Amino acid sequence: MSAQNITVIGLQWGDEGKGKIVDLLARNCRYVVRYCGGANAGHTVTVAGERYPLHLIPSGILHKGVHNIVANGVAFDPVIALKEIDTLRERGVTINAENLSISSSANVVMPYHKLADRLSEQSLGSGKIGTTALGIGPCYSDKAVRTLAIRVADLLAPETLKEKIARIVEIKSKIFKSVFGYDEPIDAEGIWWEYCDYGKRLSEMITDTGAILRSAWQKGERICFEGGQGSMLDIDHGTFPYVTSSSVTACGVPAGAGVPPKAVGRVIGVIKAYTSRVGAGPFPTEQDNQIGQYLREHGKEYGTTTGRPRRCGWFDAVAVKYAADLSCVDELALTLLDVLGGLETIKICTEYRFDDDKAVQHLSIPMRMPSAKCVYEELPGWDERIEDVRSFSDLPANARAYVQRIEELIGKPVGLISIGPQREQVIKHNTGLDDIVV
Ligand code: GDP
Ligand code: IMO
Ligand code: MG
In this prediction, residues 248-255 reach a mean pLDDT of 98
Query: What number does the ligand 1 atom closest to the CA of 51 have?
Result: 16
Integer CA distances (angstroms), 129 to 13, 69, 134, 310, 323, in order:
13, 29, 13, 14, 21
Query: What number does the ligand 1 atom closest to the CA of 305 have?
Result: 8
Distance CA 233, CA 29 (A): 27
Encode pLDDT of 274-305 as tens digits.
999 999 999 999 999 999 999 999 999 998 77
Residue nearest to atom 17 of ligand 1 (CA): 421
Query: What number does the ligand 2 atom closest to the CA of 228 have?
Result: 2
For strand 67-70 and strand 75-76, is the pairing parallel, antiparallel, or unpaired? unpaired
Whole-number Å distance, alpha carbon 368 to ligand 1 midpoint, is 28
- Packed helices 78-90 and 188-202: angle between N→C axes, nearest 10 degrees: 40
- Packed helices 158-180 and 188-202: angle between N→C axes, nearest 10 degrees: 130
Domains annotated for the chain, with CATH where assigned, are 6-95+208-428 (3.90.170.10), 107-204 (1.10.300.10)
Which pLDDT belongs to residue 194? 98
Which pLDDT belongs to residue 393? 98
Length, in residues, of the chain: 438
Nearest partner of 83 among 234, 182, 201, judged by Cα = 201
Name the residue of 310, 335, 389, 428 to mutate for ligand 1: max ligand atoms within 8 A of Cβ.
Answer: 335
Query: What number does the ligand 1 atom closest to the CA of 339 have?
Result: 26
What does the longest C-alpha to C-alpha distance in the chain come to? Answer: 66
Which pLDDT belongs to residue 406? 98
Residue 438 clears pLDDT 80, i.e. is over it: no
CA angle 271, 272, 276 (to 5 degrees): 115
Whole-number Å distance, alpha carbon 329 to ligand 2 midpoint, is 21
Whole-number Å distance, alpha carbon 254 to ligand 2 midpoint, is 21
Which pLDDT belongs to residue 2? 58
Which pLDDT belongs to residue 304? 75
pLDDT band at 436 (very low <50, low <70, confident <90, very high): confident
User: Across the strands, what pairs with 6?
Assistant: 224, 266
Which pLDDT belongs to residue 307? 86
Query: What number does the ligand 2 atom closest to the CA of 117 have?
Result: 14
Distance CA 301, CA 16 (A): 11
Integer CA distances (angstroms), 358 to 8, 53, 238, 371, 372, in order:
36, 45, 22, 12, 13
- Which ligand has the shortest distance to the CA of 22? 1
Whole-number Å distance, alpha carbon 112 to ligand 2 midpoint, is 19
The predicted model scores a pTM of 0.98
Q: Which of 23, 43, 55, 113 is catalytic?
A: 43
Distance CA 122, CA 116 (A): 10
Distance CA 57, CA 48 (A): 20
Residue 354 clears pLDDT 90, i.e. is over it: yes
Residues with CB under 6 A from ligand 1: 10, 14-20, 42-44, 46, 300, 304, 335-336, 338-339, 418-421
pLDDT band at 1 (very low <50, low <70, confident <90, very high): very low
Q: Active-site residue 43, yes or no?
A: yes
Whole-number Å distance, alpha carbon 175 to ligand 3 midpoint, is 32
Residue 47 clears pLDDT 70, i.e. is over it: yes
Name the residue of 131, 270, 304 to mutate for ligand 2: max ligand atoms within 8 A of Cβ.
Answer: 131
Residue 30 clears pLDDT 90, i.e. is over it: yes
Which pLDDT belongs to residue 437? 85
Residues with CB under 6 A from ligand 2: 10, 13-15, 40-43, 129-132, 134, 136-137, 228-230, 233, 244-245, 278-279, 304
Name the residue of 44, 339, 387 to mutate for ligand 1: max ligand atoms within 8 A of Cβ.
Answer: 44
Residue 215 clears pLDDT 90, i.e. is over it: yes
Name the residue of 242, 244, 271 to mutate for ligand 2: max ligand atoms within 8 A of Cβ.
Answer: 244
Whole-number Å distance, alpha carbon 18 to ligand 1 midpoint, is 8
Instruction: Tell me the average pLDDT of the chain.
Output: 97
Encode pLDDT of 315-327 as tens digits.
999 999 999 999 9
- Packed helices 317-326 and 397-410: angle between N→C axes, nearest 10 degrees: 50
Query: What number does the ligand 2 atom closest to the CA of 280 have?
Result: 27
Residue nearest to atom 5 of ligand 2 (CA): 131
Which pLDDT belongs to residue 184? 97
In this prediction, residues 235-264 reach a mean pLDDT of 98
Amino acid at residue number 83: K
Encode pLDDT of 366-414 as tens digits.
999 999 999 999 999 999 999 999 999 999 999 999 999 999 999 999 9
Encode pLDDT of 67-126 as tens digits.
999 999 999 999 999 999 999 999 999 999 999 999 999 999 999 999 999 999 999 999
For strand 206-207 and strand 275-277, is the pairing parallel, antiparallel, or unpaired? unpaired
Q: What percent of the chain has pLDDT over 90?
A: 97
- Packed helices 111-124 and 136-145: angle between N→C axes, nearest 10 degrees: 110
